[in-house]
Amino acid sequence: MRTADRVEAFNEKYEGSLYTKLGSTAFTNSTAPKVEWIMENNEEVRKGIEEGNILYGWIDTWLIWKLSGSKAHVTGSSNQAGTLLGDLSKVDYNEAMLEEFHIPREILPKVVITGQFSVDTDPDVFFGHAVPIAASAGDQTASAIGQACIKPGIIKNTYETGSFMVLNTGKVFPENVPSTSGLFLETAKEAEELANSVEDNGGGSKNDFLCQFQNSSIFQALL
């Protein structure tokens, strides 16, 4: 939550005008404000960046970096969601956001597309021979493919730590995004009120109740 003030200021400054570019408004768990905070508050990190000794990346970046013997610093395009750094109109970073958060492009991994890149593992480190890595997909985008959300118009929903709704829009970005009804509750207290509005969980487990609660209450409220 230490980026809360920065996030609030960012959202007030842009008022959702960048949604169709970035795919999201700012949150305290967004990558950009977190990296900015670390650079501003950690002298060792600042020095490391200045000396060219620090790189940043996501979990796929770290895994490929290790497997390749530190030869490849890349990330799958799907992992840019929610970072405030990715540009939906191209497979690259948004220059305006790099400037906004003062993040040097050189510390970020190259953005690649699954099936359109190939990186060999280091035979001296793993497996004894080179093995090509040609795929990197993360989080909800990866799960959408796994759940066969592969044609425009197909939508999937996942329940666990949160409720994640993903729509395959094809090659055309919808004009009515973001939804005017919103996808997030204003306060955590609202979740308790919605949960209490359900009579019972149908005899299921706690997780079943969560699913029923989210399905019957939150989505009805949103729609």
The pLDDT tens digits for 163-216 are 778 888 888 776 666 555 555 677 778 878 877 888 876 665 444 444 443 443
Q: For residues 71 and 120, what is the distance between their CA atoms, to the nearest angstrom? A: 9
By the 10 Å C-beta count (0-12 exposed, 13-18 middle, 19+ buried), 69 is classed as middle
pLDDT at 184: 63
At 80, the pLDDT band (50, 70, 90 cuts) reads: confident
Distance CA 119, CA 136 (A): 11
Helices 31-41 + 43-50 axis angle, to 10 = 100
| Predicted pLDDT of residue 17 | 85
- Helix (H) or strand (E) run with residue 166 in it: strand 163-167
Cα(11)–Cα(160) distance, rounded to whole angstroms?
Answer: 27
pLDDT at 143 over 70: yes
**Whole-number mean pLDDT of the chain?**
84
Q: What is the mean pLDDT of residues 145-149?
A: 87
CA dist., res. 5 & res. 140, Å (int): 27
Buried b (16+ CB within 10 A) or exposed e, 205-215: eeeebbbbbbe
Share of the chain above pLDDT 70, in %: 83
Q: What is the pTM of this model?
A: 0.77
